[in-house]
Structure 1
Amino acid sequence: MTTVTVRQAVHELMTFHGMTTMFGNPGSNELPFLKDLPARYILGLHEATVVAMADGYSMITNRPTLINLHAASGTGNGLGALTNSAISKSKLVITAGQQVRDMIGPEVMLANVQAAKLAEPLVHQSLEPLSAHDVPRAFSQSVFAAEDGPVYLSVPYDDWDAEVPAERIRQLSRHVATARTVDPEAIAELAGKLRSAEAPVLVLGPEVDDERVWATTIALAEALDLPVWAAPSLARLPFPNHHPNFRGVLPAGIAPIGEILGAHDLALVIGAPVFRYHQWQPGLYLPETTELIQIGEDTAAAARAPFGDALIADPVETILALAASLDVATVADSDPTATDSDSGVMAPERAIPGPAASASDGVLHPEEVFAGLRETMPGDTRYVVESTSTNAAFWAQMDLRLPGSYFFPASGGLGWGLPASMGVALADPERPVVAIIGDGSAHYSISALRTAVEENIGVIIVLLRNGTYGALDWFADMLGVDKAPGLDLGEVDFVSIATGYGMHAAHAATTAEFASQLTAAQERSVRGQASLIEVNTEKTRPEKK
């Protein structure tokens, strides 16, 4: 009987599943697995950075993405970033090295006695095979299970050199397909409710930020003249933010959402939980005059919702079927990246007011920064945003018309945005990627700059420096906490830090300098060179007063 090593079997399965890129930060337990690795290895200098990069990569490819972390310590370092992946259900296969089997019981150095429990609350499945022979099957299971969210797989490092039948590779080279169909009766009932409702409203979540349904969603909203809100705590943008039907992002409090949706007799929530609240603003969830129906594939989200009915179904397929049932024709949109021939900028669907101006020399208002991005960057730019205190300014000035244009940490965990932008850019080099990062966030994952330089990732980083955790200033005011400690960051020279990592970096003190540096950064980006532009900005609030 022909045999191969467990390592060879898993490497063959990686190739079979098209897992050609792997993100990691290795330790001694992981080295045996990495021997003769048949994939591009993207090194991150901290495990949280590794997880976030893979998260961004998986969001664009929509395929299981492989991560390799070091034992318990490396896994622990990555858990903060994994909170975002768990909420967004990113397709991650996280492998971690375990001590050799005979050394786990005595709890020697780098042994993880309860490895499968370490990441368990944050992953869809957590495994440690009971024998070396079961590692290839467990790996195969992890790839398929990752379709529903992150999976964790701990493997003792002596397993990799164990022998298994070569036939096992063929047996495990299999496919698992989903053939769920949307219930026609459920669609007919939804269509009937929409037709008969006097004031229906559409609430869309991250799961419908999808090119398969983008134009159909717009056509459905226009045909029925539906006001469209984005679900609160938004991680992806599911609708063009300056479309006339778009009303904005729902506030993340119970009372304000109840007041907004209470003006409607029917609320269809598609592709989002009901709801991901943040600040404690108690009140009526929903008046009894409003019927709410939640549509999504997450059974757990439907079960824990405190109100409303739910339909467990693919949100993308539901919108497509609903539009067909209502005879809504999807007309091909004009080129969303087309520009006004006179100004050279995209003509918005709804008028965008001029940006608020800063009153201080050398300091820009965030709206001036975002207006500069809108006017200078191509219309198909992807924005990875981790600057919470500038949310209101961002939505006031940005004009995003394409799917896959906006990404935000799903759990609110800082340090995700900078490395995630690199994963996004690696997955799709054809669309420009801009990371909008606050100085408070940048400190969490600044070592990601090294990966951008080493891997020739042409991301453009716009670092907004206001010297404080601005969103916490707002929360402190809302919670009546006077003079909370730990909110001031001081002035850090990020240009020097980025230059030290080998990245081109510059400071912009005026809007003209910012526009000029953006143009130069775009030229470097197409050559696979990253850039950092540091801007001093005024302190703003995440929500308008």
Structure 2
Amino acid sequence: MTTVHQACYQILREQGLTTFFGNPGSNELPFLKNFPKDFRYILGLQEAVVVGMADGYAQATGRPGFVNLHSAAGTGNAMGALTNAWNSHTPLVVTAGQQVRAMIGVEALLANVDSASLPRPLVKWSCEPACAQDVPLALSRAIHTAAAPAPGPVYVSVPYDDWSKEAGPGFEHLAERTVQSAGALSSNALTMLVSVLDGARNPVMVVGPDVDANLANGDAVTLAEKLAMPVWMAPSAPRCSFPTTHASFQGLLPASISGISRLLEGHDLILVVGAPVFRYHQYEPGDYLPAGARLISITCDINEAARAPMGDAIVADVGLALAALSKNVHSTRRPPPAPRATPAPTEVSGALTTERVFDILNDIAPHDAIYVNEATSTINALWQRLRMTEQGSYYFAAAGGLGFGLPAAVGVQLAKPERRVIGVIGDGSANYGIQALWTAAQYDIPAIFIIMKNGTYGALRWFAGVLEAENVPGLDVPGLDFCALAEGYGVDAVNARSSEELASALRKALGSKKPMLIEVDLQSA
């Protein structure tokens, strides 16, 4: 007899989901028993950290990540992290253990009441199979649904007595299935886009995270160069989809209606590729489009296409669309766009400022370093100064949910052992995922964590000024010792108060094969 347990592990193995991220409870133990030697289990000390690590891992590998949570309580702890995964189009297969079927109706302890509804609307699909024999099919469906455009998290709740039941006939077909999406531009759409781009007087391109996720940064560069287009990153970008050192790169768009229109003024065509139109934040009303401009977006997500307040949208595979456009448009005779102003270098000596930290990173970090950012008050300085030229060089919390940075840095480093991952983390946000340090230490994951310590929630202080909110409590976080915290979790740590100390610590960390935390005492520029 083949059990549901055996059938599901066969499906996971054939589909390549052999790395688990989890924090188990009693309901999950029957699923994890006799854990296969060709699988690996990455333990996180809290469920939001578990999902954050899986999020970074899945984004960096481009394949679904597998998460195992503990019933309703564990799912609840993970919900904040799911908001980031949902908004970044991260394919995650999230499973949770349920009470035995005979105990769900009486709502026994650890029963996940209405389990399929619990994670919505932060998942593409969720279910609790109607019977044990449906579990393999539900798992197979979850894997393919998570990976299909637009990718995203899915959720399956499994009563723990199901694992020992007989799988039933036909399960063997599930392991070998493939589901592919043929999302190329139609010939009519391609002809229209080429005609519009070739005929534009002054086009501009805005690129979003799905360009980088589809390994299409090079095609974006080719398209921009052939049409002499300036290129902006979409607001609040969770990935970097264009080399920041390229002459066409203009920087990061602000997350406001009027701010975007002001910067795009004078362009008759705005091509948005792989980004929502647009992910606004602070409320600064104005015209959605500058006068005389037409907007066309290409997205993998029908929801993003439908909810946009302006412009035309084409739902297609972002990578295939960019490849086709870069090949078929005609080179223009327009002069290339004027490059953005280069920020002046900072003073080598003296107090450490945000700008100086990024200059040191540029000088010392490898050219293919991967940055995971959760120092939200430093975003503008980061995009102005940090050199990011390689595919997959940057990750940020797509929904702005704190707790992403530390765990995601661990997950990305686990996925990309050949590159060095540097997490740039604010001292306020670090506390939301500090438990990830333990996982990095236990599994020898050599991520580098730079804690930007200024003793306050910097982004909130900025917003307090924007919103004219005076005398607000709870904006400062004094008395934190991140070196002591890191050492308590088993991670080497050092405090840096000067450029020389930071440079020395960074070189030491890059020369090590173990994780390291660098606490940077920041001063205002």
2:83–2:401 contact (8 Å) kept in structure 1: yes
Shift of 1:539: 4.5
Q: Who is 2:446 aligned against?
A: 458
Matching of residue 214 in structure 1 with residue 217 in structure 2: yes
Matching of residue 130 in structure 1 with residue 130 in structure 2: yes
2:133–2:168 contact (8 Å) kept in structure 1: no
Matching of residue 534 in structure 1 with residue 519 in structure 2: yes
Q: Counterpart amino acid of 1:437?
A: I
Q: Who is 2:84 aligned against?
A: 84
| In 2: Cα distance, 1:506 partner to 1:211 partner | 37
Matching of residue 52 in structure 1 with residue 55 in structure 2: no
Q: Secondary structure at the match of 1:188?
A: helix
Q: Who is 1:511 aligned against?
A: 499
Which string of whole-angstrom CA distances, capped at 9 and with x for unpartnered residues, describes residues 341-374 of structure 1?
xxxxxxxx98844444599x6x410111111111
1:252 aligned to which of 241, 249, 255? 255
Where does 1:284-433 land on structure 2 (aligned, <5 Å)? 284-327=287-330, 352-357=342-347, 363-433=351-421
1:24 aligned to which of 19, 22, 25? 22
Shift of 1:390: 0.9
2:140–2:174 contact (8 Å) kept in structure 1: no
Distance 1:212 1:328, change over 3 A: farther
Percent of paired sites with the same residue: 49
Which string of whole-angstrom CA distances, capped at 9 and with x for unpartnered residues, describes residues 109-137 of structure 1?
00112000000110000110000110011
Q: Counterpart amino acid of 1:19?
A: L
2:84–2:397 contact (8 Å) kept in structure 1: yes
Distance 1:380 1:64, change over 3 A: same
| In 1: Cα distance, 2:57 partner to 2:475 partner | 32
Q: Secondary structure at the match of 2:117?
A: helix
Matching of residue 230 in structure 1 with residue 233 in structure 2: yes
Matching of residue 100 in structure 1 with residue 100 in structure 2: yes
Q: Counterpart amino acid of 1:247?
A: Q
2:226–2:329 contact (8 Å) kept in structure 1: no
Which string of whole-angstrom CA distances, capped at 9 and with x for unpartnered residues, describes residues 9-52 of structure 1?
10111111111110000000000000122320000000000000
Distance 1:328 1:105, change over 3 A: farther
2:272 aligned to which of 269, 273, 278? 269
2:59–2:213 contact (8 Å) kept in structure 1: no
Shift of 1:193: 1.1
Size of the aligned set, in residue pairs, is 514
| In 1: Cα distance, 2:101 partner to 2:62 partner | 34
Shift of 1:215: 2.0
The CA RMSD over aligned residues, in Å, is 1.7
1:357–1:365 contact (8 Å) kept in structure 2: no
Distance 1:7 1:480, change over 3 A: same
Q: Secondary structure at the match of 1:18?
A: coil
2:168 aligned to which of 140, 165, 170? 165
Q: Which sits farther off after the overlay, 167-176 or 502-511?
A: 167-176
TM-score, L = length of structure 2: 0.95
Q: Secondary structure at the match of 2:181?
A: coil
Shift of 1:100: 0.4
TM-score, L = length of structure 1: 0.92
2:180 aligned to which of 156, 170, 177? 177
Shift of 1:312: 1.2
1:9–1:166 contact (8 Å) kept in structure 2: no
Q: Who is 2:472 aligned against?
A: 484
1:241–1:395 contact (8 Å) kept in structure 2: yes
Q: Which runs of 5+ in 2 are unaligned?
A: 333-338
Q: Who is 2:72 aligned against?
A: 72
Which string of whole-angstrom CA distances, capped at 9 and with x for unpartnered residues, describes residues 89-108 of structure 1?
11100000000001011111
Distance 1:499 1:264, change over 3 A: same
Q: Counterpart amino acid of 1:95?
A: T
Which string of whole-angstrom CA distances, capped at 9 and with x for unpartnered residues, describes residues 200-237 of structure 1?
11011101015742222112212211011111111001
Q: Secondary structure at the match of 2:245?
A: coil
Q: Who is 1:15 aligned against?
A: 13
| In 2: Cα distance, 1:171 partner to 1:146 partner | 16
| In 1: Cα distance, 2:433 partner to 2:311 partner | 39
2:257–2:287 contact (8 Å) kept in structure 1: yes
Q: Counterpart amino acid of 1:250?
A: L
